[in-house]
Amino acid sequence: MVEIMKKFFSLLIFLSLLISKNSFAGDLPKLHGFAESAFGLKVNDDKKASHNGYNMLEQRINMKFRYFPDEFTFLEDWNTEIYYNADVLFDEYRNMYNWQPRQIYTAFTPLDFVDLKIGAQILTWGTGDYLFLNDTFPKDYDSFLIGRDDDYLKLPSYAARATFFIKDISWDIIAIPFFTGNRVPEGRRLSFYDPFQGKISGTDVYRKKIEPPYQFENTEWASRVYSTIGSFEWALYYSRGFYKNPNGYKNEAEKEIYHPRLSTYGASLRGPVPWIDGIGNLEIAYYDSLEDKAGKIRTRPNSTIRYLVGYKKAFKDDLEIGLQYFADQMLYYDNYTENLMPPDRKEDGLYQLLTLRITKLFADQTIRASFFAFYSPTDSDAYLRPVVTWDATDQWKLTLGGNIFFGLDTGDWGQFKGDSNIYMRLRYSF
């Protein structure tokens, strides 16, 4: 029901364009987008998912345009914009096709000090590179792990966003009435470690996921206050809603999982690093698990504090290197360990993760080679993402890459060993 309401909400905004008098007079803005074909070949197939040998085979048509209606004076005075960005995906892995809205919204400026945006929109903030602390908006990790374009890591939220400009400070307030959770592996396309079975599982996974129903009290809220001091950017964050991963257990016997309630508080700072040049960033977030304040309920996540330190530097000859250190500290860890029961898997009180990004441009910047590595000394596992992109012309782009996993079956990355792949994407933009 919620998915139907989301798409209906998007269509309402799209149809608002079509009902304008000029729309039928051939005054539509120019359509842009791309057509793309993608294939991902497994290199370490554990034969647990729906298909052996591959985990991506699809064609995608993307269409987007912006329209600035001026049928009424107030629309022009408010700088009203209607934006449409959606895909038609032909997914041969799942033998289905569907329409996928990416961003369909209307934006306007009713007052000099406030911008409003209403509709399906990609929401993101924070300072991490592939690491998200205060960015609690929905992600598509299925797309990320099989090699779709990075744009598809972010899922749209059906939201209303207001941005206030108060002297040198900006303030975002976001209301999200329709819940969207993270898209995570469920066994059909990607196998993973299933705690109910205590092993790597695929199509044999059975679990019932319960999402928050559409009710006013389930509206999610997020806020950010941000500005600059000299060359430094700072921000304060707040959100109240639900964990985006279904990491709570409603009924273990029935294998019912759900999204517990969550509040987050955080801050970030980004700017030049003295003496060694480059850009550094610091970020911290407190995850307040509202359904397990003291960490004594084993079927609910404990509250945590997350830390991030990052640094990147550009070198000559179009070379850039970036490093990150991430830590997730579980609070009330003694209470957590005291309430474990067999066969619960004991988590570490401090999870640590290191990342490395190396990017190099070649051939007049038409070839981009990138290598990104995740390594966790806590779980002793790793995830490698080599990617080479060639802009053959202004319209044609070829991408070759891989998703390679190492480690124990119980590790965040090691559990995906059987999903490792190499992939190719060919895109024509228009």
Distances, alpha carbon 351 to alpha carbons 73, 173, 187, 306, 355, in Å: 56, 31, 25, 9, 14
Q: What percent of the chain has pLDDT over 90?
A: 88
Q: Report the pLDDT value the prediction gives residue 24, as an integer from 0 to 100.
A: 42
> CB neighbours of 40 closer than 8 A, spacing ≥ 6?
54, 55, 56, 57, 146, 147, 403, 421, 422, 423
Q: What would the DSSP string read from start to end of 107-134?
A: EEEEETTEEEEEEEE----SS-SS--SS
Distances, alpha carbon 331 to alpha carbons 243, 248, 261, 410, in Å: 17, 17, 17, 21
Q: What would the DSSP string read from start to end of 135-154?
A: --S-BBHHHHHHT--GGGGB
Q: Which residue has the tokens 């480059």?
A: 278
Lowest mean pLDDT segment, chosen from 67-81, 244-258, 346-360? 67-81
Lowest mean pLDDT segment, chosen from 12-21, 165-174, 318-327? 12-21
Q: Report the pLDDT value the prediction gives residue 8, as an integer from 0 to 100.
A: 52
The first and second tokens of residue 345, run together, are 């898997």
Q: What is the distance between the alpha carbons of residues 301 and 248, in angstroms, rounded to a whole number?
A: 7
Reported as a pLDDT band with limits 50, 70 and 90, residue 393 is very high
**Domain boundaries along the sequence of the chain:** 2-429
Reported as a pLDDT band with limits 50, 70 and 90, residue 344 is confident
Q: Report the pLDDT value the prediction gives residue 12, as an integer from 0 to 100.
A: 53
Average per-residue pLDDT for the chain: 93
Q: For residue 5, is pLDDT > 80?
A: no
Q: Report the pLDDT value the prediction gives residue 3, as an integer from 0 to 100.
A: 59
Mean pLDDT in residue range 240-268: 96
Q: For residue 352, is pLDDT > 70?
A: yes
Mean pLDDT in residue range 170-178: 98
Q: For residue 26, is pLDDT > 90?
A: no
pTM: 0.92
Q: For residue 25, is pLDDT > 70?
A: no
Reported as a pLDDT band with limits 50, 70 and 90, residue 244 is very high
> CB neighbours of 365 closer than 8 A, spacing ≥ 6?
318
Mean pLDDT in residue range 315-319: 96
Mean pLDDT in residue range 345-368: 96
Reported as a pLDDT band with limits 50, 70 and 90, residue 23 is very low
Q: Report the pLDDT value the prediction gives residue 11, as an integer from 0 to 100.
A: 54
Q: For residue 1, is pLDDT > 80?
A: no
CATH 3.40.50.1370 fits 2-429, yes or no: no
Question: Please, are residues 268 and 126 in contact by the beta-carbon 8 Å criterion?
Answer: yes
Q: Report the pLDDT value the prediction gives residue 232, as an integer from 0 to 100.
A: 98
Q: What is the distance between the alpha carbons of residues 330 and 407, in angstroms, rounded to a whole number?
A: 22
Q: For residue 71, is pLDDT > 90?
A: no
Identify the DSSP state of 1: -
- Residue 12: φ, ψ to 5°: -60, -45
